[in-house]
Structure 1
Amino acid sequence: MKARTRTSIRNVRSLAPEHDYSGVLSGLPVGLYQSTPAGRILDANPAMVRMLGYPTRDALLAINAGDLYVNPEDRQRWQALIERERVLVDFETQYRRHDGTVIWVQDRARALIADDGEAVYYAGILVDITARKQAEEVLRQNEASFRLLFAGNPLPMWVYDLSTLQFLEVNAAAITHYGYTREEFLGMRITDIRPPEDVGRLMADLAKRRPALQSSGEWRHRRKDGRVIDVQIESHAIAFSGHDAVLVVAQDITDRKRAEEALAESEEQYRYLFENANDAIFTIDLRGNFTSVNKAAEMLSGYPRAEALQQNIADVLPPEHLATARAMLATKLGGGDPTRYEVELLTKDGRRVPVEIGTTLVSRFGEPMGVQGVGRDMTERKRAEEEIKRHLNRLTALRAIDVAIASSLDLSLALNVLLDQVTTQLQVHAAAVLLLNPHTQVLEAAATRGFRSNEIQRTRLRLGEGLAGRAALERRMVSSENLAEAGRSFTRAELLAKERFVAYYAAPLVAKGQIEGVLEVFHRGPFEPTTDWLDFFTALAGQAAIAVDNVHLFSNLQTANLELKAAYDNTLEGWVRALDLRDKETEGHTQRVTDLTVRLAKSLGVPEADLVHVYRGALLHDIGKMAIPDAVLLKPGPLTPDERQIIERHPVYAYEFLSAIPYLRQALDIPYCHHEKWDGTGYPRGLKGEQIPLVARIFAVVDVWDALRSDRPYRKGWTDEKALQYIREQAGSHFDRKIVESFFKVGF
């Protein structure tokens, strides 16, 4: 039993499992394995399962590594060497296969060491060297057997002269593998199949005293096509056809070397990324136990690596999140895609940290081994999201207040909306708006929210009195972090006693340079506002000031408008009185027909907003008569045809007078059209049916009713019965039948 050892290039001090190279290494012709110091086989690739003749990988993993050794002492020697040297090269021993047959193997292994210096597990590469051993054994027998085995051996073999280094014989495997013909080989020296840079090392090795049988280690050979391959050389001094010669058996280990290099390079890259990643990276087994964590995971969880590897996911996740994690693990085992989800991590010091987790199933040779996860601390993102949400809520609040101000001139409604937003967005316990009474110059409570008693309603503060009075007088924000210590400066002792407020802030309501009042907020515990909070409080006070100013502005405008309308109506009534004074016989007629026309129009569904125009039109129905000469207007007897034409011009004069006044344009229908008739025989335009405006048709009935019952210079007034009979008879010719029916229903 032979072995060569070398000092470990580097001690591996990570408990993280090897990266998953199963896709790359499962097809290699060499056996790959992992085992623990106790002999438990953790993993084996398909080539090793086939090499040892086991039906399945699980069957091989079920035995102890020590049971494979034909000689138990070899196992003890192997373990002693690897624990001492950490890396073991070319250890040769015999293994017993599953069917009981014995094979020779060459083992190259290394130990993966934990931070405490103990080996965690061994990783190795196993090569079946039975054919080579058989060749060596045959060499110890007779020449004939040697020749037979030499020619048919699947491994390249040759014999060279020890002094000239000339090839003396090669087998078919060498010819096939190296690409030279037998004749070419026999014309070459062994230096000819070496890269030039390796010849010096070869000559130095040949100069050394050598035993009869030795392993010459790993070398590089060059094939005829120029390709350089890695080989494992075994040599044996023999006498061959009168020459001091050497028999060489060469095993191509290029694939194994490439696998080792790829493994080392990939492992190095993975280890670098694993340890230096900004995100926490971890692996867990199928039971949820942590099997590796990187530095970022240590920092995130607060657990040093050694402690972290003693934890289960149940130890670091709250119960409400543990079910989510286990469901994700089940999804992975069921073949689900990589998933991403959010949980809260319980750190060592008891904090809860929001973490976004992405997980991927880890498999070895098609068998699930666990889950690899990447965790990202979501604290800052969550804080940013909350900040954005808070700003959006505040913008929404300002918008709601704007809508309340714009859509209603009810100050109490606007202030209630404002206080709802103040208490919600500023997260205070109570708030109030105090408005300045312009007559008494006293601040009085106009709207309140969140108070437990009615004491706030008793607030009466002069400018400069108390904190709120100071805020109004000095036009700046005033606050107190502890009202109990503010003493008499707060002034409202009863309010403080009943409400038990601690913190207080007041902002003046200033609009267009005028103080309108104060917005004050209260908190029943210690309160430390941020600059952002104070800015928003000031903005809300500005909104409150706008609401108050808008209502005051509208109130003043409404008062001015009412006064203007009253002035207009007084002017109209003055015109009518002047007309009545001119025409003594019609005195009182205008007011009577106006009142009755409005009543009848209302009963017929004329909109309330239009009744004012009906009223003005009725008042001014005969305003055009001001242009009629007295001789015609006041003539005591019947009118001549020419005089009749003059008098019938008064609706046109009314139109000309009133159409130039925008205020009265909507009242034109009655003065202009009240002498039109349903059958089209009226004047001045001969309108017919519904061409006549509705209010003119209404007024026509009322005007005739009142005129028939009044005395005229040329006749006495009619009785009510006679006048009513006439109106009935004229329905459908002079009057609209529907309006006549309504006239009788309304009463007169």
Structure 2
Amino acid sequence: MTIDFSKTKRRGLIYIAIFLFLILLSFSFREIDWQSTPEFHTVIEVISMISALFIGVIILIRYYSKKNASFLFLGSAFVGTFILEGYHLLFTSSYFVTNFHSVPTSISTWSWFVPRVFLSGLLLISGHPLNETVVKKVTDKLVFGFIFIATLATILFFTLAPLPKIIQPDSLIPRPREFLPGIFFLSALILYLRKGLWKVDAFEHRLVMALIISTAIHSLFMPFSKQLFDPMYNLSHLMKIASYLLILSGTMVDIFVLFRQSEQARLMSEERFQALFYAAPSSVIVFDQHKNITFTNEQAEKTFGYSKIEFYGLALQRVLQTDELLGRDLDEHSGSLTDPHEIIGCRKDGSKFSAEVYLSSNIDGEELLKTAIIIDITDRIEAEETLRENNEKLKEAQRIANLGHWELDLLKDELIWSEQIFHIFGLDPGSFEANLDAFLATIHTEDRVWVSKAFGDSVKNKTPYNIVHRITRPNGEVRIVQEQCETYYDDLGKPVRSLGTVIDITEQKQAEDEIKRTNLILREAEQLAKFGGWEIDLNTLETNFTDGTLDIYELPYEDPPLLEKGIEFYAPEARPIISEAVINAFENNIPYDLELPFITAKGKNIWIRTIGKTGPLNGKSNKLYGTIQDITERKLREEALLKTEERFQLTINNSPSIYEVYDLDGVQVSVNKAYEDLWGFPASHTVGKFNVLKSQEVVKSGLIEYIKRAYLGESVVVPEYEYDPRGETEAQGKGRIRWLSTRIYPLKDEDGKVTNIVITHEDVSERINKEKEILKFQEELISSQSRLREAQTVAKMGSWEWDRVTRKFFWSVEMCRILGYSPDNVGRSYELVRSHVHPEDIENYDYQLEQATKHHSDFSIKLRIICVDKTLKWVFIKGKFLGFKNKMPTRMIGIMQDITDQEKNKEQMDTLQTIELAATSNLELQNIFEILVAQVLSLLDVDGVVILLKDEGQNKLKFAAGGGFYSLSAVVETNMKLGKSFAGTVYNEKRTIQSKNFPPKKRFTGFRKMLREENFVSFIGLPIITKENIFGVIEVYSRSFLSPNPEWLAFLETITSQAARAIENSYLITGIKKSNEELKLAYDKTIEGWSRALEMRDYEIRGHSERVTDMTVKLAQLMGIDGIELDHIRRGALLHDIGKMAIPDKILHKPGDLDDEEWKQMKEHPVLAYKLLAPIEFLKPALDIPHRHHEKWDGSGYPEGLSGKEIPIAARIFAIIDVWDALMSNRPYRDAWPKEKVLDHLREQSGKHFDPEVVDAFFEIIM
């Protein structure tokens, strides 16, 4: 019998819960004053009586199907109870009760009490272990007769005898006799619990619950019933029915199980039984009631060593050593097979062995025969021991590997897990349901559906499966497991069970994901930084490259270059440098870090930074490691930076802010003019001399800590501080104490290393001094409120006081004005003030106040507030704690100052600086316009901005940029004639025009109609003008009436001036570009003139230069050359024979062969070409063709005898074109060759005169 401990635990909890509930119910209803009707009681008793009869009959049927003493007593008990409760029902009716000798209440209580004693007594007997012995000695008829007589005697006793009254309403326990059946029920409950069958048997489980209820009826409810039909009385009767129904349901379940077992037994055929008996692999011994052997099978003879004749009549004790339990079964057992007994078998030769014995009984005629099935389990015991050891080893191996196994019975939906799986899933074996649904519930919700489908498909398709999925432990932790499963099927192909393993691969998966993530990040970093790595084995010269390196080389990933070829990618002038560096690294272990020009596989000229270092093996360097990075953009930026440095320095020098630049040692390297103006001495007195890290005044001011943070790479904003420069330098100048607002920024190189720091100062001495004066003034005038208010009004500063104990908040009249309140009409509180803080600043406000409170320090902050009229203001709040209690501040005073104007001025300065930086950073004009439009819309609080530029061709103003419109597409199409619009008037008169009644009330067509649809009512137009030129107009529009003050207009005019300077700079740059293009065109025309002049010396080659130039350009394009390099090839082709200008006509025009001296002079023309063109800087990149077009692939050419790829690609391309055109043309000394002959000649010279790759490309053009 297998006990499911999780089920046992659950049932035990159910019993405890029922008993606790009944206790609670008893005390809840005990004092309720309520009575039911006799009719209600009659209905309950009818139901109870019928239930008792039905239960008794069913249990007796169960008894006769498979006799069991407990069922005999249980069935008899309920049949007798039916009779007695029926009598109780009659006695308590109004008709019968008047004919009895006892009072009605006594009859009712006694007729209730006696059936309960009767039932509880028989239930106690049914649960006692001795009942089986009793049943064997008496017949069931005797039991029935005894019960019938007992019930009849009880009825007669009720009928004839006067019954005493047993209810004592005034007593603490009105019905003490009710405890007697309660004791019987409790005893029966204890007996059944000790038997333990309730753990596995459904009937006894329900019987135990019924006994709990019955015990509660007679210990918690009925003893406390004071009169008929009160709540305790009625609850007792209802609970009695509940207990009956529990026993009834358990009996039905038990009968169903018995029926199913009998059906299974019936299906076994006699023929199969006989075959099993005679051919059984186990020993079978049949013996009579005297325990003498009468029959054995063949296996018994083999096992025990006796012949069939020797066995016959042999005492069973000779072959089996019986224990007490087996001896009792041998004496008493009858029926089907017993549970197995482990015993010792004795062979004829005296040897013994371990055996397992099953007993059964049957009647042969009138003789009772018993059968013993004996199985030699010696091997099994040894195997079990080995298996136990192996299981322990397996468990340990699974624990180490974090791997478990499982088995699923698909027919019963029962799942068996190994111990390690419970550990992997974080589950308690006792709380696991052990079925497929319970397993699926542990799978992560996002994986559950597809895992279930994968298992279903595996079973359906009869294929194993191997999947990785997530599980969720009870504590919420997510783990990753790998699961493998295979399903087994019966002969009909029906799946019967699945076996599988589970391994926790969370850490492995996380490691794999981390490697993938790291590789992905590295690859992305290589691509973003144009960065790569490489490795060279110094022994084999084998190379390994990362993808980033091959991207820079512009080579396919599957074709990395060898060491020698890799060096050829460097520009010719860089090859000796990198070669020497690599050799030094190989031979002398000297690392290198170089920035060199580089030519990619596709001919692209770039700059790279390469770093190399050798790695040791056994004390020797055997590998060279390195990196390569494309720094072309940085080089271009450095060139651009050099060009813009002067403009930037000019901007810095003109800035009102103070700029200081320091090197890594803290030495000042640069300052601007504002620095000299502030301190009153020239820059030469401090630059190169003053060390910010060693200055005592810097240390005293506390600035040194912020400077150190900047040197570590952090941008720092320094709180306003007081600084005294006196004593820093020999020249004191105007060196007076100043208040400064300082920011410190690190300057970094391409590798992110700090190279310098920049310190910017704003001189806020005037504002700080003003604040000090106002605070001093405020302290002096506390007694005079009127003068204080006047000072606060002038400074836009209000005062306040906060009692943190009472939460009361007092503020001045000026503070009311700042917030927008009327002084006489506001409830003042701290919460009200806090509610005006801008939502984006509230967190910082609370934090700063908390820190000030925590450290008992002064509180100051600059933030935005939203006034009563919803306007936004900037304010400065400063507070000081005055009183403390228990180390906590109790009172705080302070000021609130409106600094909106200062903040707007600062924003305007930032805007001007943004636009200025955009104008001086070589941005496109359109980008500068977009920045300008955005700044105007943001700072000037207007609704629309348009920039119109003059179109010189059409004498109109055309749209250049704009923003703020509902529909910008209509504005983009704007074309305004000069003089016929506000913008035209602004342009012609070169002055600012403002209109508050806009647009004019005329016909709303075209642009005016669009403005009307935009709901604009105010307009301001300004000319975009410099001293010499006017470029266009800036227009601003507002959907409300504009009344700009002079500062507002001045700021708009300043922005417009910046736009004019940006346009002027852009036009200047455009003009320079145009001049360069014209100069380049002039060069090209001159070169073409030289080429035609050369052909005029020799009419036989007229058109040759033009033909070879066109074909050379086509062939170069086919081979991937483009851009400016293609222009150099075209110029080189035109000038390829420019050196022949120095060759005498007698040699050039000689009709026959040249002699040796003449050939010597003729071969000088490439050198003469080089000397002629080399001094011309513009033509240096085009020298490859004039200088080397007579070099040959095999090294037999002239003038230098170069070979292979030592010959520049341009010269190799031109060589074949030159020969092709020459052979296809007539010469004084020969006629032109046929085309096929020329092509054959070119093929034959491939690899000799010509580059084979160039020959292949040439034939693609020709064919």
Pairwise TM-score range, normalised by the shorter structure: 0.5 to 0.7
Question: Which residue identity is paired with 1:591?
Answer: E
CA distance in 2, matches of 1:393, 1:309: 39
8 Å contact kept, 2:990–2:1023: yes
Question: Equivalent of 1:437, from 936, 951, 954?
Answer: 951
Report the alpha carbon displacement of residue 537 of structure 1 after superposing the two structures with TM: 2.1
Contact 1:464 1:473 in 2 (8 A): yes
Whether 1:356 and 2:356 are equivalent positions in the alignment is no
Alpha-carbon deviations, 1:76-131, whole Å to 9, x = none? xxxxxxxxxxxxxxxxxxxxxxxxxxxxxxxxxxxxxxxxxxxxxxxxxxxxxxxx
Task: Sort the Cα spacing of 1:508 and 1:620 in 2 relative to 1 into closer, same or farther, 3 A.
Answer: same
2:994 equivalent to 1:476:
no
Match of 2:1055 in 1: 540
CA contact (8 A) 1:466 1:491 kept: no
In structure 2, C-alpha distance between the alignment counterparts of 1:515 and 1:348, rounded to whole Å: 46
| Residue identity opposite 1:451 in structure 2 | F
Give the alignment partner of residue 373 of structure 1, picking from 875, 892, 898.
Answer: 892
Tell me if structure 1 keeps the 8 A contact 2:918–2:928: no
Matching of residues 137-286 of structure 1 within 5 Å:
280=799, 282-284=801-803, 286=805
Task: Describe the shift of the 1:619–1:298 C-alpha distance in structure 2 as closer, same or farther (beyond 3 A).
Answer: closer
User: Compared with structure 1, are the counterparts of its residues 511 and 731 closer, same or farther at alpha carbon in structure 2 (3 Å cutoff)?
Assistant: farther
Counterpart secondary structure, 1:427: coil
The match for 2:1238 is 723
* Contact kept in structure 2, 1:423 and 1:431, CA below 8 Å: yes
Aligned AA for 1:696?
A: A
Alignment match of 1:318 (pick from 835, 859, 864): 835
User: Per-residue deviation at 1:670?
Assistant: 0.9
Give 1:717's aligned amino acid.
A
CA deviation after TM superposition for structure 1 residue 521, in Å: 1.6
Conserved in 1, the CA contact under 8 Å of 2:1137 and 2:1186? yes
Aligned equivalent of 2:305? none
Amino acid at match of 1:282: E
- 1:644 paired with 2:1159, answer yes
| Farther off after superposition, 638-647 or 706-715 | 706-715
Q: Secondary structure at the match of 2:1241?
A: helix
Q: Is the Cα–Cα contact under 8 Å of residues 1023 and 1032 in structure 2 kept in the other structure?
A: yes
Partner of 1:499: 1014
Give 1:619 deviation, angstroms: 0.9
Q: Does 1:671 align with 2:1178?
A: no
1:391 Cα offset (Å): 1.9
Instruction: Output one character per residue of 1:641-692: Cα deviation in whole Å (capped at 9) or x when no partner.
Output: 1111122122223223323434323222211111122333322233344443
Q: Which moved more, 1:470-479 or 1:354-363?
A: 354-363
Are residues 1:575 and 2:1094 paired? no
Aligned residues: 467
Residues 541/650 of structure 1: CA separation in 2 closer, same or farther (3 Å cut): same
1:428 corresponds to 2:949 = no
Task: Identify if the C-alpha distance between structure 1 residues 298 and 658 changes in structure 2 by more than 3 Å, giving closer, same or farther.
Answer: closer
Secondary structure of 1:483's counterpart equals: coil
Q: Quick check: 2:948–2:1034 contact (8 Å CA) kept in 1?
A: yes
C-alpha displacement at 1:737, in angstroms? 3.5
Residue 720 and residue 543 in structure 1: after superposition, are their counterparts in 2 closer, same or farther (change >3 A)?
A: farther
Among 698, 709, 712, which residue is 2:1224 paired with?
709
Matched, 1:597 2:597: no
The secondary structure found in structure 2 opposite 1:476 is coil
Q: Which residue of 2 aligns with 1:387?
A: 905
- Pairwise CA RMSD of aligned residues? 4.4
* Corresponding residue to 2:1038 among 501, 504, 523: 523
Name the CA distance, whole Å, in 2 between partners of 1:431 and 1:653. Answer: 64
Return 5+ residue gaps in structure 2 as ranges.
1-778, 793-797
Higher relative CO (CA 8 A, sep ≥ 6), structure 1 or 2? Answer: 1
Which residue in the other structure is 1:630 paired with?
1145
Whether contact under 8 Å (1:333, 1:361) holds in the other structure is no
Q: Kindly provide the amino acid, as one letter, of the partner of residue 407 in structure 1.
A: L
Question: Does the 8 Å contact 1:628/1:646 carry over to 2?
Answer: yes
In 2, the alpha carbon distance for the partners of 1:332 and 1:642 equals 99
SS of 2:1023's equivalent in the other structure is strand
**Residues 529, 331 of structure 1: CA spacing in aligned structure 2 closer, same or farther, 3 A cutoff?**
closer
Question: Is 1:407 the counterpart of 2:926 in the alignment?
Answer: no
SS of 2:892's equivalent in the other structure is: strand
Aligned residue in 2 for 1:697: 1212
CA distance in 2, matches of 1:579, 1:332: 89
Q: CA deviation at 1:491?
A: 10
* Gapped regions of structure 1 (runs ≥ 5): 1-270
Question: Counterpart amino acid of 1:390?
Answer: Q
- Partners of 1:452 and 1:499 within 8 A in 2: yes
Confirm or deny: 8 A CA contact 1:509 1:517 kept in the other structure. Answer: yes
Tell me by how many angstroms 1:745 deviates. Answer: 4.4
Identity of aligned residues (%): 36
User: CA contact under 8 A between 1:466 and 1:490: conserved in structure 2?
Assistant: no
Q: Residue 615 of structure 1: CA displacement?
A: 0.3
CA change 1:358–1:594 in 2 (3 A) is same
Check if 1:739 corresponds to 2:1258. Answer: no
Structure 2 vs 1, CA of residues 328 and 273 (structure 1 numbering), >3 Å: closer, same or farther? Answer: farther
Query: What secondary structure, in the 3-state scheme, does the structure 2 residue paired with 1:710 have?
Result: coil
3-state DSSP of counterpart to 1:579: helix
| Distance in 2 between residues matched to 1:605 and 1:587, nearest whole Å | 30
1:272 to partner: Cα distance: 8.3
The residue type paired with residue 497 of structure 1 is R
Match of 1:172 in 2: none
**Cα drift, residue 421 of structure 1:** 3.4
Identify the residue that residue 933 of structure 2 maps to in structure 1: 419
Distance 1:485 1:620 in 2: 68
CA offsets, 1:696-725, max 9 Å, x none? 122112212222333333333334443334
Change (3 A) 1:639 1:524: same
The normalised TM-score by structure 2 is: 0.33
Select the residue among 1127, 1130, 1133 that pairs with 1:612.
1127
Identify, as 1 or 2, the structure richer in helix. 2
1:103 counterpart residue number: none
Change (3 A) 1:324 1:301: farther
Deviation of 1:344 after TM superposition, in Å, equals: 8.5
Normalised by the length of structure 1, the TM-score is 0.54
Matched to 2:1131, the amino acid is R
Relative to structure 1, the CA distance from residue 425 to residue 604 in structure 2 (aligned partners, 3 Å threshold; closer, same or farther) is farther
Counterpart Cα distance in 1 of 2:966 and 2:848: 53
Change (3 A) 1:300 1:688: same
- Structure 2 counterpart of 1:584: 1099
CA distance in 2, matches of 1:321, 1:437: 47
* Cα deviation 1:437-466 (Å, max 9, x = unaligned): 324433333433333355545644444333
